[in-house]
Amino acid sequence: MKNILVAITAILGLFFSFQPATAQSSKKKIQTEAFFVEGVCQMCEKRIEKTALESGVISAEWNKESKQLTIIYKPKKVALQEVKQAIAEAGHDTQDIKATAENYAKLPDCCAYRDGVTTH
């Protein structure tokens, strides 16, 4: 009887020791994402990057020619949607979330991308 309990304990121990490794490998601790963010100038770039650097975001770089924001972040600390929402609240449209008219109106005139201002 004692040998059976030892064998069952050993088998369960092996089973559970492999389980977390499989689950952990499917979840990355650090992730990189790139997505569209509307903007036109260096002031936009600074605002977008600063806003993206929420808790858990390690790096944020916005390219004004391609209008792509690339972030490196920790998914356990911040969700990608939270970063996009913060950027929209700063007045910039993302591919998924549009800034409200009120937040957009707070942008300086040179950053008014909806009003026909072109990249400069």
pLDDT in tens, 46-85: 999 999 998 789 999 999 999 999 999 999 999 999 999 9
Which tokens is 38 given? 């509307």
Q: What is the pLDDT of residue 20?
A: 44
Is the pLDDT at 13 greater than 80? The verdict is no
pTM of the model: 0.76
Please tell me the total number of residues recorded for the chain in this structure: 120
| C-alpha dist (Å) from residue 44 to 37, 84, 90, 108, 115 | 10, 15, 10, 9, 15
Confidence grade of residue 19 (pLDDT, cut at 50, 70, 90): very low
Is the pLDDT at 93 greater than 60? The verdict is yes
Kindly report the average pLDDT of the chain as a whole number: 85
| CATH class (in words) of the domain with range 31-114 | alpha beta
- Between residues 92 and 14, the one the model is more confident about: 92
